[in-house]
């Protein structure tokens, strides 16, 4: 499906910065942000789970804040910054959260993982030293059907610690 050329009655030109790169497209107003990312830009790391605003699998960051991309229209992202799981780190690298999920076995089937990691990324930007309770609270809008919550929480705490160490080291190096 090429959403950039599909003929429709009412299309809007939007420009969305996705993972640091600006993308211009003509979209129908009813196109959901999740579909724009997946079908329009080929960024299939954003998963669509329940499609009814319950599960959080489609979570992306909109100007740094976690949102459910199945519950807003692509036109609403015009002029804004979107971060998906593909944009967490360069292709050859892992973000500390991705590393944490690997180290602590934070994924089983992996379907909820991108949404979990983006919610966690928003948490750690706001609170670099969360308690276990803080992590559970921040992830309470993301459902894991494998029920792997224990290890997901451990993964986020692992990443938080690594990011704090990295920040301390780079702060020390700057002096």
Chosen residue from 53, 127, 150, 166 binding another protein by CB under 8 A = 53
Give dist(CA 152, CA 126) in Å, integer.
19
Residue 45 makes contact with another protein by CB under 8 A = no
Q: CB under 8 Å to 105, separation ≥6 — which residues?
A: 148, 151, 155
Select from 29-37, 83-91, 105-113, 148-156 the region that touches another protein (CB under 8 A): 29-37
> Do 121 and 61 form a contact (C-beta atoms < 8 A)?
yes
Give dist(CA 159, CA 7) in Å, integer.
45
Residue 141 makes contact with another protein by CB under 8 A = yes
Strands (E), the chain: 12-18, 21-27, 59-62, 65-68, 81-83
Give dist(CA 23, CA 19) in Å, integer.
10
Select from 8-16, 105-113, 152-160, 165-173 the region that touches another protein (CB under 8 A): 8-16
Closer residue to another protein in complex, CB, 73/101: 73
To another protein, the closest distance from the beta carbon of 165 in angstroms equals 26
Closer residue to another protein in complex, CB, 76/99: 76
Would you tell me which residues interact with another protein (CB under 8 A)? 9-10, 12, 28-30, 32, 51-54, 56, 59, 65-68, 70-73, 75-76, 119, 137-138, 140-142
């Amino acid at each position: 499906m090429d959403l950039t050329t599909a003929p429709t009655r009412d299309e809007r030109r939007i420009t969305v910065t996705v993972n640091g790169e600006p993308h211009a497209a003509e979209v129908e107003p009813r196109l959901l942000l999740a579909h724009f990312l997946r079908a329009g830009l080929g960024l299939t790391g954003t998963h669509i789970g329940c499609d009814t605003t319950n599960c959080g699998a489609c979570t992306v960051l909109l100007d740094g804040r976690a949102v459910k991309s199945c519950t807003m229209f692509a036109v609403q992202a015009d002029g804004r910054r979107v971060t998906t799981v593909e944009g967490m780190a360069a292709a050859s690298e892992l973000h500390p959260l991705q590393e944490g999920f690997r180290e602590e076995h934070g994924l089983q089937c992996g379907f909820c993982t991108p949404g979990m990691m983006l919610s966690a990324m928003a948490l750690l930007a706001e609170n670099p030293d969360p308690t276990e309770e803080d992590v559970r609270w921040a992830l309470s809008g993301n459902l894991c059907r494998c029920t792997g919550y224990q290890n997901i929480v451990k993964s986020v705490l692992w990443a938080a610690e690594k990011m704090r160490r990295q920040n301390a080291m780079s702060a020390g190096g700057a002096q």
